[in-house]
Structure formats: structure tokens, C-alpha cells
């Protein structure tokens, strides 16, 4: 039995009364509601950032010529950001859902202010001069940046938000280690990527035939990329 007598509207008013002064006081700074979490002896914050904030909030420091001391993450892969852009544009043009993964960035905790609101919720204040260094997601950031800067494509993502996992870490070597650790995930086979991502056209028809026609049961090979 629910013994809470507060209506949703009353709860919203109470939350607004807590947050409104914080947003008002820091209106010249970048402010976000965040979720605090602990993982692997690290303190992290999850924030959701509007598309037009990303170009100025995030910065990539890719390594050059495979020199690990020249940056915090991998060298840029030519054409990868363009692939992400084309994926978003194609899905939007087809009026289909799309998604890109959470970006990960690090920042020296002394360069931002985090107000703990309790129950794992916090208020994050980021000065305009502070940049979040990308640990994972530099190609996604570049794709979003180019889409939002191009007047012909800006409307595709202008009203969208993108999640960032913010690692409170200022040590350069640890940031490089974080990138290495996150890069250990095995890449999916191309055949799986094709099969999981298409449900229409040639691939969709083939998959429906395999599922619907008994004579094909256990007699088909996986899709070849």
C-alpha cells in the first residue's frame, strides 16, 4: 500500500524549488543534473547533454602516428565519423529509430563543482573554460559536431540529448589506461552486425524465409559479410 500522500505535481514543485535556484545562480555556466556512481575504485557521474553543447564541452586528444604519449585515446580512424553521420541521416530519412553509444570523458574533479543532492543525484556545474577530455567516443563527438554545425543537417539532432559518463580523473596516465581497458571489447563479426541491423529488403526477406519455411530449418548458414 502506498502511504505517500504527495501527488506527482507536489513532488515536481518540491524538486523545482530545489533546482531552480541552482540553475538561476549558475546560469552563465554549464549545468546538468547528474547521477553519481562508483565503479572500480572510481567516482563517476552520468549526465545528459544537449547536442549543441557537445562541440564546446568535449575535446578529443587523439594520439598521433601511434605514439601513445601524444594523446589520451586512439588515432582518428579516417571515415569513421562520416559513417556515423551517414547512419544517423539514413535512419532519420527513413523515420526509423537510431541510437549511438554513451560517450565517456574524464575531468579533473577540481575543475568542476558537484553538489550532492542525496540518493545518488547531484547537480554538476562546469565552467565555460573547462573541457571534458574524451576517453571513448571521439568519432561520435565529431559526427555530432559536424551534423550540428551544418545548417542542412542541424535539425536532425538539434533537439536530441547525448549521455556522457564523466570519470572524475585528472591523471594523464590513468586516462590512457582507462581507454585501453575500454578498448578490450571484442568487435562483433560483420555477419552479426548485418543480421542484427536489417529487417527489410534482401536480408529481411531471407530471414523471414528461414523462419517461415520448414525445409530451411537447420540447413542455412549465417549471413556472409
What span, in angstroms and rounded, lies between the C-alpha atoms of 198 and 68? 37
pLDDT in 10s for each residue of the chain, 225 residues = 455 667 778 888 888 899 999 999 999 999 999 999 998 888 999 999 999 999 899 988 766 666 555 555 666 788 999 999 999 999 999 999 999 999 999 999 999 999 999 999 999 999 999 999 998 888 999 999 999 999 999 999 999 999 999 999 877 676 667 656 655 655 656 655 555 555 555 656 666 666 666 665 665 555 554
In a 3-state reduction of DSSP, which class is residue 150?
coil
| Alpha helices by DSSP H, 46-169 | 54-57, 80-93, 138-149, 154-157
User: Each residue of 76-103: pLDDT tens digit?
Assistant: 788 999 999 999 999 999 999 999 999 9
What are the grid coordinates assigned to 194, written together?
548485418
What span, in angstroms and rounded, lies between the C-alpha atoms of 189 and 115? 43
What span, in angstroms and rounded, lies between the C-alpha atoms of 105 and 166? 5
What span, in angstroms and rounded, lies between the C-alpha atoms of 174 and 42? 11
| Alpha helices by DSSP H, 94-170 | 138-149, 154-157
What residues have CB less than 8 Å from 193, skipping those under 6 apart? 225
Contact 97, 87 (CB under 8 A): no
Question: Whole-prediction pTM value?
Answer: 0.74
Structural domain boundaries of the chain? 11-185, 187-225
Amino acid at each position: 500500500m502506498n502511504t505517500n500522500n504527495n501527488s506527482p505535481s507536489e513532488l515536481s514543485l518540491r524538486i523545482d524549488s530545489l533546482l531552480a535556484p541552482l540553475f538561476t545562480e549558475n546560469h552563465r555556466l554549464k549545468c546538468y543534473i547528474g547521477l553519481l556512481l562508483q565503479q572500480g575504485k572510481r567516482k563517476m557521474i552520468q549526465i545528459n547533454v544537449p547536442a549543441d553543447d557537445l562541440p564546446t564541452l568535449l575535446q578529443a586528444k587523439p594520439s598521433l602516428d601511434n605514439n601513445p604519449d601524444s594523446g589520451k585515446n586512439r588515432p582518428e580512424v579516417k571515415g569513421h565519423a562520416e559513417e556515423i553521420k551517414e547512419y544517423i541521416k539514413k535512419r532519420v530519412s527513413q523515420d526509423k529509430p537510431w541510437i549511438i553509444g554513451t560517450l565517456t570523458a574524464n575531468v579533473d574533479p577540481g575543475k568542476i563543482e558537484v553538489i550532492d543532492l542525496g540518493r545518488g543525484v547531484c547537480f554538476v556545474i562546469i565552467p565555460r573554460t573547462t573541457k571534458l577530455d574524451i576517453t571513448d567516443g571521439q568519432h561520435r563527438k565529431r559526427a555530432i559536431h559536424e551534423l550540428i554545425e551544418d545548417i542542412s543537417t542541424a535539425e536532425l539532432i538539434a533537439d536530441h540529448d547525448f549521455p556522457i559518463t564523466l570519470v572524475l580523473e585528472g591523471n594523464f596516465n590513468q586516462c590512457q589506461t582507462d581507454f585501453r581497458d575500454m578498448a578490450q571489447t571484442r568487435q562483433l563479426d560483420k555477419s552479426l552486425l548485418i543480421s542484427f541491423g536489417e529487417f527489410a529488403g534482401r536480408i529481411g526477406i531471407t530471414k523471414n524465409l528461414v523462419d517461415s519455411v520448414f525445409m530451411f530449418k537447420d540447413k542455412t548458414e549465417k549471413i556472409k559479410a
